[in-house]
Amino acid sequence: MVVSHSPALARAAVDLALEMVGETPPPIAIAAGAGDGIIGTDAVKVAEAIDEVASGEGVLVFMDLGSAVLSGTMATEFMTTSDEVRLTDAPFVEGLIAAIVLANAGASLDEVDREARAALGPKRSQLADEGAASTAESTVAPAESAVAASDAVTAEATLVNPDGLHSRPAAAIVQRLASLDAKVTIRDITTGKGPVGANSLIGIMSLGAKQNEVVAYSATGAAAQQAIDTLLEMTRDGFGELAS
């Protein structure tokens, strides 16, 4: 659920996030502006939007500026849903994208909130600030230790798409693997970064893996081989980004 002072800003942020998912995104509602073209937020509208989007699995509320937080807090007194409603301090744009991708893959409220809060990690890492990069690595979804087991299915592949594992390929990986019974990690062999969980858009992006770098995929679980085969196919196809 998105709270913004500006309807145009809210709609643009949601539209950008929806570019990362398929035709059946998770429920999303917007409460933006104070009515009659006035910039601001309205707690009653926020409460109505929370009730609209509530589906029994919890509601995560994103807010753009300080008074939006106040409206979000007040709205919890007006709403009628019995769902857990959580106000997140995640970054408005990056967090919203991360949350929608993971929610679309069927993650829990806790998982979605954690992913959203870590959403600035890749940007910090890419800006090559050593202190910030270490923070990013500590906040991305941790790789499952079980993937390092001796029975893990592993494979290596070279990234061929021009922009490597940026946001769109990362989102595609999360969603393609979501239905498979497998725990998967990705490591950038070329740079030594990782491993990170393949169920985390933020984790994958934090690798900063570029074209011609070699990545290692590792998976355990009943569908481990299928997960690895899927990743290898996606990598060979350049995640759909190769010129025809």
Q: Which of the residues are catalytic?
A: 166
Phi, psi of 41 (to 5 degrees): -135, 155
Residues forming beta bridges with residue 155, ordered by sequence position: 217
Residues forming beta bridges with residue 220, ordered by sequence position: 183
- Compute the distance between CA of residue 80 and CA of residue 169 in angstroms, rounded to an integer: 38
Helices (H), the chain: 7-18, 43-53, 66-78, 92-104, 109-117, 121-126, 130-139, 167-177, 201-206, 224-236
- Compute the distance between CA of residue 194 and CA of residue 127 in angstroms, rounded to an integer: 18
